[in-house]
């Protein structure tokens, strides 16, 4: 059990769904330290699997100025939103499927050095086609890519898939 204690937090800025906070902690030695924390509402991601193939999204990511190949994902849009329901919504929006089965693979802590984001990752199977409903410019201009799961894993090992949630989701979906 950690002997660090949060004794205060002050919001420095809010933009869209993120909040920047200055958090005050006491250490086990009794020292007071301050840290900047990005508060994130959380997210979900899915590895949609159909007949041994996975569906990925190639979309632009402004923070790094590149297009990335990723598993479908999205933030929790409503405070307290059920993660499984959000996963189903994102699956339909981004790749046009509904899942008969969602298996929880992990809860990924993305960047604990400065952000509290947790992404719940699921494997989606028993897929049924539904209309897509892209949200935002990046999704509207994204490309859905279908490929064998083994090929996606090879792209991870070749360094061509670099997104953390995608690497974790694909490796866990492929199994040991």
| Residues classed as catalytic | 138
Joined tokens for residue 74: 């999205």
């Amino acid at each position: 059990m950690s002997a660090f204690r949060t004794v205060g937090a002050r919001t420095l800025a809010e933009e869209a769904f993120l909040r920047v906070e200055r958090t005050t902690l006491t250490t086990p030695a009794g020292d007071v330290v301050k840290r900047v924390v990005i508060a994130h509402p959380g997210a979900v991601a899915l590895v949609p699997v159909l007949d041994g193939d996975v569906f990925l999204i190639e979309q632009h990511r402004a923070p790094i100025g590149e297009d990335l190949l990723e598993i479908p994902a999205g933030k929790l849009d409503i405070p307290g939103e059920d993660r499984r329901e959000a996963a189903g919504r994102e699956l339909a929006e981004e790749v046009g499927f509904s899942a008969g089965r969602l298996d929880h693979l992990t809860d990924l802590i993305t960047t604990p050095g400065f952000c509290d984001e947790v992404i719940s990752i699921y494997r989606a199977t028993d897929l049924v086609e539904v209309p897509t409903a892209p949200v935002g410019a990046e999704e509207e201009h994204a490309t859905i890519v279908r490929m064998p799961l083994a090929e996606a894993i090879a792209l991870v090992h070749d360094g061509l898939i670099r997104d953390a949630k995608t690497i974790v989701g694909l490796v866990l979906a492929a199994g040991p």
